[in-house]
Amino acid sequence: MRMSYLKNGWVCLFFLSLFNGIPDVVYSMEKEKVTGTGCFPLAGIDRKEAREKAKVLAKEDAVRQHSAWNVAMQGVEGTDVELIEQYVVKYLLKIDQQDPAQTQDGKICFTMHGTINGELIKRHAFRLKEQNETIRLVDSSEANPVSDFDLVITLNHADGQYKEGDKLVVFVKASMPPTLSSTKKVFLLLDYFQSDNTVVHMVPNLFSGQAELEVGKSYTFGGDNDDYDFVITEPFGPERIKGIASNQRFTDQLKTKERQGAGKEYASLQLRGLKVLAKQKTKVPEMKIAVTTKEVHTEGKDQPTGTKASPDLIM
């Protein structure tokens, strides 16, 4: 996701490197030649569509033939393997030659030859593993204690699913139970953990005028009338929006002056800060806290279809 905003007539862009957080080593930029073959059944499907699916499978097979693939995939499981594979096919694989299509046993087959930078595969896999660790921290039970009041976060896409180029808008509203009806405002921290393992500190660092919320009033972040837009761009994958609200001002353990930073490090910092708040609440009973974590998932407009396309495909 890339964040953009308009201020004083100038359009500014904030984005961190896709490979943010990579160990400080020197990477070889040499490319390795790869060859892959993919076949797809012709039965019950338009031939043109079968051809395109076979081409995708050939590219995926070529990616898996790279010497860096098995190394990069260590510790990567399930759908994450597919996400990395799709990214490498779309952005890192350069096709140099495509052999003529072959039809055999009711399937159409393609063989493709190309080159890939293996170090970029490793970097992308590293980023995804780091992001998974960030998500684990953000979603942990310790980072989501029982709330004293309602802090509701909704999105302009109710299901949390976004495609490349979509605009993400966040709505936040605090509501009090009858026992806390005298509370008229709360203080808010709102963070967006992005799929490139960075975190955007939306409140109070970007939207400084909305660090205090009136109870019962809905607030919009990234809307048409705001200085900041949130536009979905690659890399894609799981993301989180986390809101923390309290009827008292936050301590420094949960605050930072940066607008954007490293996701995993901040998630760890935030977890420690929440533990500090929990201890404070035992000493200050009138202190009330609410925590809400909202799931977001992003993907490309033309996300490649891979092995999920058909249970009958063979490689």
Query: Are the CB atoms for 245 and 174 separated by under 8 Å?
Result: yes
Pairing of strands 94-98, 237-246: unpaired
Same domain, 233 and 199: yes
- Note whether 139 and 165 are within 8 A (CB): no
Residue 241 has pLDDT above 60, yes or no: yes
Q: Are residues 221 and 107 in the same domain?
A: no
- Residue-wise DSSP of 175-214: E--GGGTT--EEEEEEEEE-TTSEEEEEETTTSGGGSEEE
85 and 179 part of one domain: no
User: Looking at the structure, do residues 108 and 211 belong to the same domain, yes or no?
Assistant: no
Number of domains in the chain: 2
Question: Which two three-digit tokens encode residue 227?
Answer: 């200085």
pLDDT tens digit sequence for 194-226: 888 888 888 887 777 668 889 999 999 888 888
The enclosing domain of 77 has a CATH number of 3.10.129.140
Q: What percent of the chain has pLDDT over 90?
A: 36
Q: Are residues 84 and 151 in the same domain?
A: no
pLDDT confidence of residue 258: 75
Matching residue, tokens 């033939």: 65
* CATH code of the domain in which 218 resides: 2.60.40.1930
- Are 143 and 292 part of one and the same domain? yes
Query: For residue 6, is pLDDT > 70?
Result: no
Residue at 231 is within a domain = yes
The sign one gets for the Cα dihedral 217, 222, 223, 226 is: positive
Q: Examine residue 39 and state whether it is found in any structural domain, yes or no.
A: yes
Beta bridge partners of 278: none
Token code pair at residue 35: 């060859």
CA–CA distances in Å: residue 205 to residues 26, 133, 147, 254, 255 = 34, 24, 24, 12, 9
Q: Which helix (H) or strand (E) holds 49?
A: helix 47-64
- Within this chain, do residues 109 and 170 fall inside the same structural domain, yes or no? no
Reported confidence tier of residue 310, pLDDT bands at 50, 70, 90: very low
Q: What percentage of the chain reaches a pLDDT higher than 70?
A: 84
**Boundary of a domain, candidates 67, 83, 116:** 116
Cα 147–151–152 angle (5° rounding)?
Answer: 130
In sequence order, what DSSP letters do the residues of 215-284 get, joined into one string? TT-EEEESSTTSSEEEE--SS-EEEEEEEEEESSPPPGGG--S-SEEEHHHHHHHHHHHHHHHHHHHHH-
- Measure the CA–CA gap between 3 and 230, rounded to whole angstroms: 5
Tell me the residue range of the domain where 184 lies.
Answer: 139-299
Give the Cα separation of 287 and 274 in Å (integer): 13
pTM of the entire predicted model: 0.70
Cα–Cα dist 84/291, whole Å? 31
* Statement to judge: residues 189 and 267 lie in one domain: yes
Tell me the average pLDDT across 29-47. 90
State the average pLDDT over residues 154-178: 92
Res 39 pLDDT > 90: yes
Express each pLDDT in 57-102 by its tens digit.
999 999 999 888 888 888 787 777 887 888 888 888 999 999 999 9
